[in-house]
Amino acid sequence: MENRINKIMHLKNGAKYLILNQAIYQGKNYYFAVRVSDDEEDIIDEYQMLCEEMKDGKMFVSTVDDPDTLKLLAEYLEAAA
């Protein structure tokens, strides 16, 4: 897994997120991220857990909405910090 901490991830919807932490769980890459402005100069108070996975040879990124997965990842990332 490539280290993406402190890098900007550009999503298909145009949103940009600064990766604060990352983890691998059940073969998928997860990123705890904060949204940044379009010019990447300011942090917007919007945090997301993102999931990156390969499907049909293409990389997809989505937000994690499942409360159980969010809780598990938050506990793991807190323990790793």
Average the pLDDT over 55-79 and give the result.
Answer: 89
The predicted pLDDT at position 36 comes to: 98
pLDDT band at 65 (very low <50, low <70, confident <90, very high): very high
- Average pLDDT value for the chain: 91
The predicted pLDDT at position 6 comes to: 96
pTM for this predicted structure: 0.86
- CA gap 30, 1 in Å, rounded: 11
User: What digits encode the pLDDT tens for the residues 8-30?
Assistant: 999 989 999 999 999 988 888 99
**28, two tokens:** 């998928």
CB atoms within 10 A of CB 24: 11
pLDDT band at 80 (very low <50, low <70, confident <90, very high): low
Antiparallel, parallel or unpaired: β 16-25 and 28-36:
antiparallel
